[in-house]
Structure 1
């Protein structure tokens, strides 16, 4: 009898612990959804060729998922994104995050202004950007990859954080970092990061 009770308890425990398991992402479904709704702006394979539109290839899974949730809830606003994300369910968001995360990120373009990059490197060190975005600026967990991102998008994002237009994850930290940046520092920082 005791063996039956112990065996039953183990089965129940296994079933209960399985109830909290997160469903694995479906990369094929993520690719299909990305092709359907993302590629037009964010580019084939997640490499944007449109001004002020970020590349998503190589962006972190959690970061993508959180940004989509922020857009869907309306806490992060964007006229183009709002009608798209309203159609996404949680599985779509999970699949898109995993899909973009496994793509090779955009590589930084050849640096045509090393002096500006040096100023940007100094600004990144002075503002402690690596403390959240990591030493390689590849991001971690829900913190964005910013290395190799489109330069004009980085300028726009920093101005949006500085002015308070952009909200969502990291808003308090980014507003604190961006607010004191001069326009020259923003330009230099964006140039440096885009060419990594």
Structure 2
């Protein structure tokens, strides 16, 4: 009986403590105003090599902000911003961006390239982490509908060992053997999903 009561008390304590740290989407939206300059209104980037954040999984956004703030990921534009955010801001930004509608993918102007990209995605088992529809989950990025040139850059960065954080080891292992042609095809396919 004590084990059951102790377990129930532990579960109640965890449940109550999670309410104290619940994310505030409205506060995240307000904090994200500075993000719109690069990541676009409603988290949909219009700038080359800048990712769209709309619809990214909450935990993924949070972890990337933590990596930037800790200096594990480096970016000249991000560093001064992340130095000013708190853990609460990070939770709120994750909740806000994950609540937004993901970008609508552009019309596929090269279905043959997408077919090659789909084959590369199957061959590299991308769906095993990023899910079958490439919407991401938990701390794993959404790839579907992401900016094509950003996906190319990210894959090249993983391949070269220049990008760290999160699934870096898995991504480096996946990206390293990719040819430039496979990277181009894979990025095209994912951007048009």
TM-score clears 0.5: yes
Cα shift at 1:144 = 0.2
Flag structure 2 segments of 5+ consecutive residues without an equivalent. none
Hey, what's the Cα distance between the residues in 2 that align with 1:149 and 1:17? 39
1:20 aligns to 2:13 (yes or no) = no
Out of 138, 152, 177, the position equivalent to 1:155 is: 152
1:128 aligns to 2:130 (yes or no) = no
Partner of 1:113: 110
Hey, what's the Cα distance between the residues in 2 that align with 1:47 and 1:128? 27
What does 1:177-196 correspond to in 2, within 5 Å? 177-196=174-193
Cα shift at 1:143 = 0.2
Hey, what's the Cα distance between the residues in 1 that align with 2:98 and 2:158? 24
CA RMSD of aligned residues (A): 1.6
Hey, what's the Cα distance between the residues in 2 that align with 1:138 and 1:99? 17
Hey, what's the Cα distance between the residues in 1 that align with 2:28 and 2:74? 23
What does the per-residue CA deviation read over 1:120-169, in whole Å, with 9 as the maximum and x for residues that have no partner? 00000000000000000000100000000000000000000000000001
* Larger-gyration structure (1/2): 1
What does 1:91-102 correspond to in 2, within 5 Å? 91-102=88-99
What does 1:63-74 correspond to in 2, within 5 Å? 63-74=60-71
Hey, what's the Cα distance between the residues in 2 that align with 1:118 and 1:124? 10
Secondary structure at 1:21's aligned position in 2? helix
Hey, what's the Cα distance between the residues in 1 that align with 2:13 and 2:115? 52
Cα shift at 1:115 = 0.3
Hey, what's the Cα distance between the residues in 2 that align with 1:119 and 1:21? 44
Hey, what's the Cα distance between the residues in 2 that align with 1:126 and 1:161? 17
What TM-score, normalized to structure 2? 0.92
Cα shift at 1:100 = 0.4
Which of structure 1's runs of 4+ aligned residues deviate more than 6 A?
A: none
What does the per-residue CA deviation read over 1:31-65, in whole Å, with 9 as the maximum and x for residues that have no partner? 00101x20000000000000000000000000000
Cα shift at 1:77 = 1.1
Secondary structure at 1:32's aligned position in 2? helix
Cα shift at 1:107 = 1.3
What is the number of equivalent residue pairs in this alignment? 184
